[in-house]
Structure 1
């Protein structure tokens, strides 16, 4: 499965009723996907990849915001 497919699948993940450990896993997975997508973006310069990274970053921020409370 390619990184882009993994990221699109990750986007569909439900964020309801997650435990703290689940939130930590999601945050780490999002960070990993964003970094991998960034490497792809550097070579292809595709705007769709940048948009996907922005959406994943938004999800990551929501998860981390809940962790810091």
Structure 2
């Protein structure tokens, strides 16, 4: 096996290990810190919202993470 192929296989194996590790950390983080609030689907978009304080007070809506 030429050196170039060996290096590419090592890099590919490293990337696979990093991807699997990232998935494992994501699952562990989501189990440790479950989302607070409710998820709804609006026009095919999954939205998360939290209701707080007095329901009779004026409503304030804050959008985050909604890039162009």
Tell me the TM-score normalized by structure 1: 0.37
TM-score by length of 2: 0.38
- Greater share of residues in strand: 2
Instruction: Indicate the structure (1 or 2) with the bigger Cα radius of gyration.
Output: 2
Higher relative contact order (CA 8 A, sep 6+): 1
